[in-house]
Amino acid sequence: MNDQVTVVIPTFNNAKGAIDLVKLLALNFPSFHLIVVDDGSDATHWEQLKSFSKVPRLKKIRLAKNFGQHAALYAGMSQVKTTYMITMDDDHQNLVTQIPALLAASTEGGHAVVYGLFTARRTWLRSVLTAMYRSLSSVVGVGHGKGSGFRLLRSDLVQALSKNAGGVQFLDERIRWFTDEIGFVSLDVKVESFKSRYSLGKLLSLSIGKSFYATDFPLRFMAVFGALMALVNLAIGSFFLYKKLIHKIEVPGFTSLIVSVLFSTGLLLFGLGILATYLRQILLRVNHAPTYHIQEILE
C-alpha cells in the first residue's frame, strides 16, 4: 500500500521544517510520493527547497504568490495520482510515525477521509482563534470544525475536490459537501507548532471567513433576530401609543428615542456588513478568481 500514498506538504517561509519532514518521511516510508508546495515564500526559502534533491519521488511546486494554506493543498492535490493522499503541515515531524494509524482507520472503517487528532502547543492567540472558529463551525452541525491538518483522503474524494475547486479554498468545509464518510483517530502525540506566519488581522480574517463560507447561519441569524427586534419594537410602540391615546399620558422619550435610533442604525449596518461579506464571495465566484497559480514545478 505504501507505493499508493502521496503526502502533500504546504509550506510558507519554513523551508527547513519542510525539508526535515521530507527526510523523515523518506526514511520511514521510502516508497511514498512526496509533494512540497511552496505557497509564495521568500526567495531564499524557495532556493533552499530547489537545492534539496536527496530524496526520490519528491516533487516541488512553487505558487506565484501567497494564496493561503488551503489553496496550496489544492495545488498539490492536482498532482496526486495515487490511491491515498495525506496532508501534513511543515511542522508535523512528530506525526510521521502516526501515518499507519490513518491508513488503518481508512481501510477498516471504509472512510473517505480520516483526521488525526492530536495536541498542539500554540500561542494563546492561535488557541483563542482556533477555539472561536470551532465554536462558530459547530453551529452548522455535529463534527464541523473538528479536524486537523493531518488528514488522509481517498482518491475518489481527491479527484472530486480537485475538479470542483472553483475558487473555493476551505478544504475541510468542502469535504463535507462531498461525503459523510469521515473518521477521526485520536493520537497520543504533542506537536510543537512552528511560529505563526500570520498576523493578528489575517488570523481573524481566516477564522471569520471560514465561518461565513461554511454556513448561511449569519444570514439566518440576522433574519430571525431582525424579526424578533421588529416584534419587540412593535410591542414597545404599542405600549406607549396606548398610554398616549387611552390614558392621555405624555410620554417623555427623547433619550429612549435616540438610543433606539442609534441601536437600530448599528443593527442595520451590521446586517449590511454580513450581506456584503456574502456578496464578495459571490463576486469572486462570478469573476472566476483563481484558487492558485503554479509558477514552477520541479521533480
CATH number at 74 reads 3.90.550.10
61 vs 193 pLDDT, higher one: 61
Question: Is residue 95 predicted with pLDDT exceeding 90?
Answer: yes
Could you tell me if 152 and 114 are in contact, meaning their C-beta atoms sit under 8 angstroms apart? yes
> What are the DSSP calls for the chain, one per residue?
-GGGEEEEEEESS-HHHHHHHHHHHHHH-TT-EEEEEE-S--HHHHHHHHH---STTEEEEEESS---HHHHHHHHHTT--SSEEEE--TT-GGGGGGHHHHHHHHHHHT-SEEEEEEEEE--HHHHHHHHHHHHHHHTTSTTTT---S-EEEEHHHHHHHHHT-TT---HHHHHHHH-S-EEEEEEEEEEEPPPP-S-HHHHHHHHHHHHHHH-SHHHHHHHHHHHHHHHHHHHHHHHHHHHHHTS------HHHHHHHHHHHHHHHHHHHHHHHHHHHHHHHHHTT--S--EEEEE-
The pLDDT confidence band at residue 181, using thresholds 50, 70 and 90, is very high
Q: Number of structural domains, the chain? A: 2
In the predicted model, is pLDDT for residue 256 greater than 80?
no
pLDDT of the residue at 135: 65
**Higher per-residue pLDDT: 112 or 221:** 112
- Tell me, yes or no, whether 86 and 233 share the same domain: no
Residue 196 above 70 pLDDT? Answer: no
pLDDT of residue 164: 72
- Taking Cα atoms as reference points, which of 112, 88, 61 lies closest to residue 6? 88
State whether 191 and 172 are in the same domain: yes
Query: Are residues 96 and 9 in contact, defined by beta-carbon separation less than 8 angstroms?
Result: no
| Shared domain check, 250 and 182 | no
Type of residue numbered 251: V
Comparing 252 with 70, the larger pLDDT belongs to: 70
Specify whether 272 is located in the same domain as 171.
no
Q: What are the cell numbers at 49?
A: 527547497
Claim to verify: residue 177 and residue 236 sit in the same structural domain: no
- One domain, residues 268 and 203: no
Considering the domain architecture, whether residues 115 and 74 belong to the same structural domain is answered as: yes
Q: Is the domain of 194 the same as that of 279?
A: no
CA 142 from centroid of its chain's CA atoms: 17
pTM of the model: 0.76
For all residues of the chain together, what is the average pLDDT? Answer: 80
pLDDT of residue 228: 75
Is residue 77 scored above 70 in pLDDT?
Answer: yes
Q: What is the mean pLDDT of residues 50-66?
A: 91
Domain of 277 in residue numbering reads as 217-286
Q: Are residues 179 and 274 in the same domain?
A: no
